């Protein structure tokens, strides 16, 4: 029999009893993360008909499902992840590391000069549990995401991104505020209280 570490046993235990996991199975979503996006969308109306949406850190595809369902075939969803993602109707999938120039070029090539209405980003580095390692790795992804928005967002466009509260976030929020009309933080119910994750929503991109 395969041995289980105490922490993975605890994770498995929490996973099978988690109400969002159960709900995702009932609703046909690939991940419990879908409910974070659904809650934020309900409050902040992220999706508009015909929108071009880019989903960064998309696997296994829970957010991409929410986006394509919200757009009802009247828009475009491009999803990118390091990991392979099962095909999803109405979603264009790119596999690669967002930190690689070649992968970014592939993504920009797909846009072919078209500008996005919304960038959603649930990327997070593989956390080691060592804050001094994890926080800078997360801040690096956030910086790249903001650079990406500057390249691809329409005037008035939106960014929703996962963040980890910690070093660098005050300065990051200021950087985002300089480019967008409004910046708010969201902690949806499906985001575990024990997690440092919070979502930053920036609207009204200024070109």
List, by residue number, the catalytic residues: 162
Two structure tokens written together for 54: 């880019």
121 sits near ligand SAM (criterion: CB under 6 A): no
Q: In this chain, which of 35, 63, 180, 199 binds ligand SAM, going by CB under 6 A? A: 63
Tokens in use for 111? 């846009």
Q: Which is nearer to ligand SAM, 52 or 141 (CB)?
A: 141
Asked if 59 touches ligand SAM (CB under 6 A), the answer is yes
User: Does residue 122 belong to the site contacting ligand SAM (CB under 6 A)?
Assistant: yes
* Beta-bridge mates of residue 160: 120, 201
> H or E stretch including 182?
strand 180-186
If one asks whether residue 118 binds ligand SAM (CB under 6 A), the answer comes out as no
Q: For residues 3-32, which are near ligand SAM according to CB under 6 A?
A: 30-31
Site for ligand SAM in 176-205 (CB under 6 A): none
Alpha helix segments (H runs only) across 18-120: 19-27, 34-44, 62-71, 101-111
Minimum distance, C-beta of residue 162 to ligand SAM, in the bound complex (Å): 7
Strands across the sheet with 91-95, in order? 91-95, 76-81, 52-56, 116-121, 153-164, 197-205, 180-186
Binding-site ranges for ligand SAM (CB under 6 A): 30-31, 33-34, 57-63, 80-83, 97-99, 122-125
């Amino acid at each position: 029999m395969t041995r289980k570490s105490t922490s993975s046993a605890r994770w498995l235990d929490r996973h099978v009893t988690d109400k969002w996991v159960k709900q995702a199975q009932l609703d046909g979503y690939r991940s419990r993360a879908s409910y974070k996006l659904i809650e934020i969308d309900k409050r902040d109306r992220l999706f508009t008909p015909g929108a071009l949406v880019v989903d960064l850190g998309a696997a296994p595809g829970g957010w991409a499902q929410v986006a394509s369902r919200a757009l009802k075939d009247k828009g475009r969803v491009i999803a990118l992840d390091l990991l392979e993602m099962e095909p999803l109707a109405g979603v264009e999938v790119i596999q690669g590391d967002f930190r690689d120039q070649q992968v970014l070029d592939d993504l920009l090539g797909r846009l072919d000069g078209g500008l996005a209405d919304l960038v959603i980003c649930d990327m997070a580095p593989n956390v080691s549990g060592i804050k001094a390692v994890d926080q800078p790795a997360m801040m690096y992804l956030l910086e790249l995401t903001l650079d990406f928005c500057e390249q691809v967002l329409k005037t008035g466009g939106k960014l929703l991104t996962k963040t980890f509260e910690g070093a660098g976030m005050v300065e990051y929020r200021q950087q985002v505020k300089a480019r967008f009309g409004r910046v708010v933080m969201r902690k949806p119910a499906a985001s575990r209280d024990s997690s440092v994750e919070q979502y930053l929503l920036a609207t009204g991109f200024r070109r």
